[in-house]
Structure 1
Amino acid sequence: MKKIITLLAVITLLVSCKTVRVSQDYALGTDFNNYKTYAYFKKGIDEAQISELDKKRILRAIDTEMTAKGFVKSQNPDVLVSIFTDSKERVDVYNNNWGMGFGWGWGGGFWRNNMGNNVIRTTEGILYIDLIDAKKKELIWQGVGKATLRSTPEKKVERTNEIVKEILRQFPPMPKK
C-alpha cells in the first residue's frame, strides 16, 4: 500500500510539473490591432536577474511566438518587449494517513495506518512578459507564467518554450462579449 501511495504522490508531482499557470493583465480600451512590430526593451532585458543563457532561451522563444502571431522585429517598433523573472521554492505535502475499519474484541474502534507525509520541494520560476507601447512608453499588456524549472540545458529549452508559448497564447487579449 505504501508503494501505491508513493506512486500516486509521484504521479501528482509529474502532472503538476507539466502545468504552466498563466495570467494576464492589460490596459482596457487598447486596440491591439494597431501593433504589428516589436523590439526588446534593452534596459528591462539587461536588468533581468538570470543567466545570459536563460535570457537567450527566453528571447528566442518570444521571437518564435511573436513571429507566429504575425509580428515583425523592427528598429522602429510599435511595441517594446521586456521581461522580469523571479523564483520561489514550492513545497507540496502529501498526507499518507489513510485507512478505515473496525477493531476486534474489547474496545473496537477506528483502524488507521499512519505512514506519515511525503514532502516534495521544487523550484518554481515566474516569468513576466511586458509589452509597452513604444510611442507612449506605457505598459499595455503583461503576461505571467509560473512553472517548475528544469536542470539540464535541453530540458531548460523545452520548458522555456512551453512557458513562453502559454503566456503569449493569451496575447492579444480577446475582448469579452
Structure 2
Amino acid sequence: MKKVLTLLAVITLLVSCQTVRVSQDYAIGTEFNNYKTYAFFKKGIDEAKISELDKKRILRAIDTEMAAKGFVKSENPDIMVSIFTDSKERVDVYNNNWGWGFGYGWGWGGGFWGNNRNSVNRTTEGILYIDLIDAKKKELIWQGVGKAPLKSTPEEKVERTNEIVKEILTQYPPMPNN
C-alpha cells in the first residue's frame, strides 16, 4: 500500500509540473471584436532573446491559433503581434512523511516509524508573453502570459510551444467580469 501511495504521489507531482500556467491583462473598454487582421511586430520579434528556431516555432504556433480564431494576416493589420520571452529556474521542495504507528497509555510500548524523505525538483521554466497592439493607436490592448517547463528535443519543443501558445490565446478575446 505504501508503494502505491508513493507512486501515486510521484505521478501527481510529475503531471502537475507539466501544465501550462497562463494569465492575461487587457485594456478595459476595448472592443476586441473589431479586430480581424494581424501582422507580426518585427521590431519586437527581433528583440526576443531566443534562438531563431524557437522564434519560428512560436510564430508558426501563433499563426495557427490566430487563423483558428478567424484572423487573417495582412499588410495593413488591425493589430500587431509581438512576443517577449524569459526563463527562470523553478525549485519545488516536497516533504514526504509517510508512516504509521501504534501506542498505549501508561508506559506500554508504542512508537512511530516511517521515512522522512524530502525531495527537491529543479526545472527551467520558460515564460512567453504575447502582446497584441492596436496598429492605429500604437497601444497595447491585450497581453497573454504562459509559463511551463522547457523541453529539450526539437520535437518536444514544437509540441510544448504549440501547447503554450494555444493555452495563452485561448484567453483571447477576454471575457470581462460583469
Answer whether TM exceeds 0.5 for this pair: yes
8 Å CA contact 1:127–1:144 kept in 2: the answer is yes
Q: Could you list the per-position Cα deviations for residues 21-69 of structure 1 after superposition, in whole angstroms to 9, with x for gaps in the alignment? A: 1111000000011111111111111111111111100000000000011
8 Å CA contact 1:87–1:123 kept in 2: the answer is yes
Paired position in structure 2 for 1:128: 129
Question: Pairwise mapping of residues 95-110 of structure 1 onto structure 2 (< 5 A)?
Answer: 95-103=95-103, 106=107, 108-110=109-111
- 1:109 deviates by 4.9
Paired position in structure 2 for 1:8: 8
Letter aligned with residue 70 of structure 1: G
From the superposition, tell whether residues 24 and 122 of structure 1 become closer, same or farther in structure 2 (CA, over 3 Å).
same
Secondary structure class of the residue paired with 1:99:
strand
Q: Could you list the per-position Cα deviations for residues 72-128 of structure 1 after superposition, in whole angstroms to 9, with x for gaps in the alignment? A: 111111100000111111112221222232257956454031332121111111110
8 Å CA contact 1:48–1:83 kept in 2: the answer is yes
Secondary structure class of the residue paired with 1:175:
coil
Distance 1:11 1:169 in 2: 27
Structure 1: where are the runs of 5+ without partners? none
Secondary structure class of the residue paired with 1:101:
strand
From the superposition, tell whether residues 107 and 119 of structure 1 become closer, same or farther in structure 2 (CA, over 3 Å).
farther
Q: Which runs of 4+ in 1 moved over 6 A?
A: none
Paired position in structure 2 for 1:139: 140
Letter aligned with residue 45 of structure 2: I
Number of aligned positions between the proteins: 177
8 Å CA contact 1:9–1:94 kept in 2: the answer is no
Does 1:170 pair with 2:171? Answer: yes
TM-score, scaled to structure 1: 0.91
From the superposition, tell whether residues 43 and 110 of structure 1 become closer, same or farther in structure 2 (CA, over 3 Å).
farther
Letter aligned with residue 80 of structure 1: M
Instruction: Tell me the C-alpha RMSD between the 2 structures.
Output: 2.0
TM-score, scaled to structure 2: 0.90
